[in-house]
Amino acid sequence: PSGPSERFPVAVVDAILKDVLGSYLREQPYEPARCRDMAKDIAEVIKARVKDLRIPRYKIVVVTHIGQLNDQSMQIGSRCLWDPASDTFSSYVFKNASLFALANVFAVYFE
């Protein structure tokens, strides 16, 4: 099977994640209801910006988490079946004084 004609631009997507999370959350205090809505909004914005790159034949999945920063730890794991030769991901963690946010973009090549 032939792979993608164009590699998924991980560094460009990393920059999008950093920009979107920073601009939405820089001054945002942790409020559970608001952060739940923002996690959804941020995922939509990231997905739209990645799709604007017009990378052919990649299925884009965006997952965001926002939580309170409160002297506790949290581990988030994710697994999926994919082809390491063509599929990839981008990930970024943002923190301010009261919250943390994690955004993952999974790029799965469509034959």
Residue 73 lies in a domain: yes
Give the residue from 66, 74, 78, 67 showing the smallest Cα distance to 106.
78
Quote the pLDDT of residue 109.
Answer: 92
Residue 2 lies in a domain: no
Measured between alpha carbons, how far is residue 70 from residues 37, 73, 97, 102 in Å?
Answer: 20, 8, 10, 16
Q: Is the pLDDT of residue 26 over 90?
A: yes
Structural domain count, the chain: 1
Average pLDDT, the chain: 92
pLDDT mean over 101-106: 96
- Give per-residue pLDDT as tens, 47-87: 999 999 999 999 999 999 999 998 877 788 887 788 988 99
CA distance 90 to 107: 8
pTM, rounded to two decimals: 0.90
Residue 104 lies in a domain: yes
Quote the pLDDT of residue 52.
Answer: 96
Residue 92 lies in a domain: yes
Domain region containing 91: 10-109
Going by the DSSP 8-state scheme, the letter that residue 36 receives in this structure is H
Q: Radius of gyration (Cα) for the chain, nearest Å?
A: 15
Residue 1 lies in a domain: no
Q: What is the CATH number of the domain that holds 29?
A: 3.30.1140.40
Residue 19 lies in a domain: yes
